[in-house]
Structure 1
């Protein structure tokens, strides 16, 4: 991370234990070694251009990306403590509005999912709805 911060042509956007997001000139090599060996960084979204990036804190970020060849638009929202699969997902625009409204009073985003529980002895599957509320304080 120090190499990114000390490089005048890079801007660090987000860092975590094992990852970082930063901006650098398109044809410039990153200030660290890229590869699959221990201690090296990899390019998780190499085929994508990040158009927008928002972070709400540790392990909370959202990206809007465009595929470099096909032009396809893709959204990624990661938020700690939230389920990967939900019936009412947190989308990019909700996340963006929450980050931009930080410090203002906001209604929480309600996330819910259906949880299925098999009972092998009875040969049944029961379901129940789980709800979580997300708000940036």
Structure 2
């Protein structure tokens, strides 16, 4: 909900103060439109979280816990298989390498809880990851031989302008520089080498004062980050507490 106070400055201050001190509402923003007009955006407050009739926190916790255990079993299967290497895992996916002569250690299926091949018509040629939720794939079509690249980076919209600066090759170069700096235990790594500046020339943003939507220039900086382990030699990430045999 939005509320506008204008004309009378004394009334504006008193009513705004009353609204801000009202425990029954939650004010999200206060925007000064003119010297005599203020726009207040707020919503009715609620001390108690009302669950939707179709949701249940206990079922959500149980489902998430079982899913994590299921993912752990998949990881253990790959790690224990001969000539198989676990490369990357996400919430519901596993990326690994194996020798074709030994067969795939994991099987796909059509049922609930079974795995599916995300790219069944392609052969994975190269995989690069700069941390959680950021990875790039280079694949080759099994029949035509045509190569294809896929890039996924959380928090960055891969528009046409962004893809001119952030693509498979630049992403790989940034990750390799990051891995080289951290494997040498060099804390003074060059941010200009590891990071990529991405510019969006036409980013849509609301203009509250004018009540319009404007196009502005926006910049974001991508940089690999690994917080769930230690980057070792050959860009291999070891768990905290890892002891070299």
Q: 1:44 to 1:106 in 2, by over 3 A?
A: same
Q: Do structure 1's residue 101 and structure 2's residue 177 form an aligned pair?
A: yes
**Which is bigger in relative contact order (C-alpha 8 A, separation at least 6)?**
1
Match in the other structure for 2:31: none
TM-score (norm 1): 0.83
Instruction: Write the distance in 2 (CA, Å) between the matches of 1:77 and 1:96.
Output: 10
Conserved? CA contact 1:112–1:132, under 8 Å = yes
Report the Cα offset of residue 111 of structure 1: 1.4
Moved more, 53-62 or 19-28: 19-28
TM-score (norm 2): 0.49
Bigger proportion of residues as strand: 1
Q: 1:109 to 1:10 in 2, by over 3 A?
A: same
Secondary structure, aligned partner of 2:110: coil
Gaps of 5+ in 1: none
Instruction: Write the distance in 1 (CA, Å) between the matches of 2:174 and 2:133.
Output: 15
Q: How does 1:1-137 map to 2 (within 5 A)?
A: 1-26=75-100, 28-89=102-163, 90-102=166-178, 103=181, 104-107=189-192, 108-113=195-200, 114-116=202-204, 126-136=214-224
Any idea what the Cα deviations from partners look like across 1:47-97, whole Å, max 9, x if unmatched?
A: 111111111111111111111111111111111211142512211111111
Instruction: Write the distance in 1 (CA, Å) between the matches of 2:101 and 2:118.
Output: 17
Q: 1:129 to 1:36 in 2, by over 3 A?
A: farther
Conserved? CA contact 2:174–2:196, under 8 Å = no
Instruction: Write the distance in 2 (CA, Å) between the matches of 1:93 and 1:36.
Output: 35
Report the Cα offset of residue 46 of structure 1: 1.5
Conserved? CA contact 1:51–1:64, under 8 Å = yes
The alignment of Structure 1 onto Structure 2 pairs a total of residues equal to: 134
Gaps of 5+ in 2: 1-74, 182-188, 226-245
Report the Cα offset of residue 26 of structure 1: 2.9
Q: 1:61 to 1:81 in 2, by over 3 A?
A: same
